[in-house]
Structure 1
Amino acid sequence: MAFSSPSLSTNPIPVSTMAAVDQSELAEWRAASPADGASWLAGVSGPWWIAGGWALDLFGGTQSRRHGDLDIGVLRRDVAQVLGTLSSWEFFEAHKGRLTRLQTGTLPKAEVNSLWCRPAGTTLWAMELMLDAADDDRWVFRRQPEIQRPLATVIRWNPEGIPYLSPEIQLLYKARSRRAKDQADFDHIAPRMDSNARAWLRHTLLRTDPEHEWLPSLRAQTDD
């Protein structure tokens, strides 16, 4: 199924010469789709996946809402390869509300988990790289490293062969923010997950946030 791209503002602030700036001043994104991401990362041999709201829509099989950006997950240990594949792009570390240019030939700082990316010479951001941890063949939840999964269970593929983050893991990331769109994503996707995925999300939330408001719904859906 084809996924349309959202319409976004086209009045960005150029940052070709700046070193660091507040993210809020430069949050102008191009209309990018999962198919765009697959094209950009076609030369990356390591694992990568569509993340964020787009990942949930790839799981659901249809676009459920407008997406303001395109998130793509990679393993932190593979980031050098990704940066090398996208050698004509520029990258900024996103950390604590600030964007700092990542100099060519350097790697993101350990405390940085997000890179804003775009082709050099352009002004709209194209994608956000999310840096995930791994231990050998296991994915590690960086917010609580004792929570782990085999990497083979972390990534799924849609019928067009685009990899995306398993919905229960994406909802785990979204559970902390509890924004209106995160609640809408949960309401739309949780009933569509199989019982094993719902049970994993429920048990994991019990470890990370035992009073989370999603738990009663997950308990009812798991017991059905």
Structure 2
Amino acid sequence: MRTDYDNWEPLTVSNVVNLFTDLPITWCLAGGWALDLHLGKQSRQHSDIDVIILRDEQESSYDFLSREWKLYKAQDGVFLPWVQGEFLTDTTDVWVSKNHNSPWAFQVMLVDTFENNWIYRREKSIKKPLNEIIAKTNEGIPYLRPEIQLLYKGGSSKVREKDFMDLQTMLPILSTQEKEWLTLSLHKQFHEGHPWIALM
């Protein structure tokens, strides 16, 4: 069982694109890199790199990635090997390394869908059509739309300093529609209010 949470040597964006391009599934970059791809430049250092896949397409992803990578499901603060034939129904986070001792290279985040809609796991009334959750750079790199990525950051049980910094970086370039969607979604998740709402 691994506990080396901080042992990272993340792949570059180009590495991830090269790896996932040949995989016939829906995928995109997420996390801080997704925001920077929307921004058009790197705004801060990134200690890791995240890739989103659809939960329903996890078997194809496992078969492809497990040929050259070791996959660990992260659940309740514990890393356990993801084994062939195991369908992850609740796990949302898979950490990936080249072998059992090497640093973490990237994370795979599994998202839920229903009837061609992305479903926000923390508040299932929040959803979007699948064809509206991913944007692409001019070079064709897919990334999670900024308003959705910011919801994941702001909707976490622990909003980190870097998450607030990311919001401040993105606010000047978010469209009115993106801000309205994020505001409405935060209201749905946090009925008592959320500190980010006033900023928008």
Task: Describe the shift of the 1:26–1:204 C-alpha distance in structure 2 as closer, same or farther (beyond 3 A).
Answer: closer
Q: Please tell me whether residue 217 in structure 1 is matched to residue 199 in structure 2.
A: yes
* Counterpart secondary structure, 1:74: strand
Displacement of 1:48: 0.3
Displacement of 1:27: 2.5
Q: 1:71 aligns with which of 7, 29, 50?
A: 50
What TM-score, normalized by structure 2, do the two folds share? 0.93
Cα separation, 1, equivalents of 2:103 and 2:150: 27
The Cα offsets for residues 163-186 of structure 1, whole Å up to 9 and x where unpaired, read as 000000000000023211000000
Number of residue pairs the alignment of both structures matches: 196
Aligned twin of 1:27: 6
The code of the aligned residue for 2:185 comes to T
Contact preservation (8 Å) 1:89, 1:117: yes
The Cα offsets for residues 58-77 of structure 1, whole Å up to 9 and x where unpaired, read as 00000000001010000000
Q: Please tell me whether residue 132 in structure 1 is matched to residue 114 in structure 2.
A: no
Give unmatched runs, 5+ long, in structure 2. none
* Counterpart secondary structure, 1:21: coil
Displacement of 1:26: 4.1
Counting aligned pairs with the same residue, the percent is 31
Q: 2:179 aligns with which of 178, 192, 198?
A: 198
CA RMSD of aligned residues (A): 1.4
Aligned twin of 1:157: 136
Q: Please tell me whether residue 47 in structure 1 is matched to residue 26 in structure 2.
A: yes
* Counterpart secondary structure, 1:84: helix
The Cα offsets for residues 125-168 of structure 1, whole Å up to 9 and x where unpaired, read as 11100000011211111111121101111000011111000000
Cα separation, 1, equivalents of 2:181 and 2:5: 37
The code of the aligned residue for 2:61 comes to V
Contact preservation (8 Å) 2:123, 2:188: no
Displacement of 1:104: 2.7
The Cα offsets for residues 165-208 of structure 1, whole Å up to 9 and x where unpaired, read as 00000000000232110000000002211111110000111111
Cα separation, 1, equivalents of 2:104 and 2:2: 14
The higher radius of gyration belongs to 1
